[in-house]
Amino acid sequence: MTAKAYYPGSKYVPLSVSGTVCYLSCKGCNAAYLKGMIDVSDPEKLRLVLSELYRQGVRGYLLSGGYSKDGYLLIRNEHLKVVKNFLRDHEAVFSTHLGLAPRDLLHSVWSAGVDVIDFEVPPSNDYLKHVKGLGHHSVNDYLEFAAYIRDTYGKDFIAPHLILDSTYATPEEEQRMIKAIAELDPYVFVALVEIRRTNNDEGRVKDALRLARMSFREVALGCMRSPRFKALDEVWLRECLVDRIAVPKPALVREYDLQVIKACCSLKPKYEHLFA
């Protein structure tokens, strides 16, 4: 299968349902990423923004934003009503960074017509404690939540993401998590690489991607990786370790004849025609 290159931005836009507010303020972001999203904290503004962006050719919307202290997205039912009404009259795709949400909120997200939950699974309990500030949770909480989504709404309602090469996880822990996530049988597994000041461990990431290659139907390398680490993108493509790669250099697109899709790398194939 020919690998695909994903470029979100022009046709798949991130929206913050909390503006710049985040009660988690974890080391991994400290709310900095929220500044690059469109503020739709007011549900009425969400309605207007969706209509205007659709008029401009946008067909995908990532519902993201700040988190509660318990680790889930600060999205309101009023936001979800806007999404549900919008989808009645428009052909579009919604995804969300929902986090470890209460079951009633999860059901509201599904009922609104959101297509998929981009769900970050922590590589270790230390990562939860020191990076996310969620020491009162465990990796088992996330795996159980993911299994509940699969059993209740189907395995295609979740796209698991895993941070590789974290300083707060061991290689053995992240490989153990890859095996646990594989039991969910998701349509895609998204690998992220921790961005840090020191160099990432190429060998460690390669070992994780090799295991993922054997364990999942499709493997994606997501947006989160440092510019220095992107120099290794050709390695993953040459060794056929990934099926999808987010924002590769244009030269690689030409060299490997990658199909270009202007969307998030967790997009389901049935929607590719909206983003070609």
Q: What does the pLDDT average to over 29-34?
A: 68
- Residues 104-127 have pLDDT tens digits of 999 999 999 999 999 999 999 999
Does 30 score more than 70 pLDDT? Answer: no
Give dist(CA 122, CA 228) in Å, integer. Answer: 23
Give dist(CA 72, CA 174) in Å, integer. Answer: 22
Residue with tokens 């009023």, as numbered in its chain: 78
| Helix, strand, or coil (residue 76) | coil
Q: Say if CB 219 and CB 246 are below 8 A apart.
A: no
- How many CA atoms, within 13 angstroms, populate the side-chain half-sphere of residue 175? 12
Q: Say if CB 172 and CB 204 are below 8 A apart.
A: no
> Residue 236: pLDDT band by 50, 70, 90 thresholds?
very high
Confidence (pLDDT) at 108: 98
Name the nearest CA neighbour of 18 among 47, 1, 43, 48: 43
Confidence (pLDDT) at 29: 66
Of residues 1 and 143, the one with the higher pLDDT is: 143
Which residue spans within the chain are E strands per DSSP?
A: 4-6, 12-16, 38-39, 60-64, 93-96, 116-121, 158-164, 189-193, 219-221, 244-246, 259-261
Enumerate domains of the chain plus CATH numbers.
4-274 (3.20.20.70)
- Residues 65-104 have pLDDT tens digits of 999 999 999 999 999 999 999 999 999 999 999 999 999 9
Does 28 score more than 70 pLDDT? Answer: no
Residue 222 CA from chain centroid, whole number: 8
Give dist(CA 114, CA 108) in Å, integer. Answer: 9
Does 57 score more than 70 pLDDT? Answer: yes
For residue 3 the two structure tokens come to: 């690998």
Compute the mean pLDDT over every residue in the chain, rounded to the nearest whole number. Answer: 95
Does 232 score more than 70 pLDDT? Answer: yes
> Residue 237: pLDDT band by 50, 70, 90 thresholds?
very high
Cβ neighbours of 123 (radius 10 Å):
28
For residue 240 the two structure tokens come to: 């056929």
What's the whole-model pTM score? Answer: 0.96
Q: Say if CB 59 and CB 91 are below 8 A apart.
A: yes
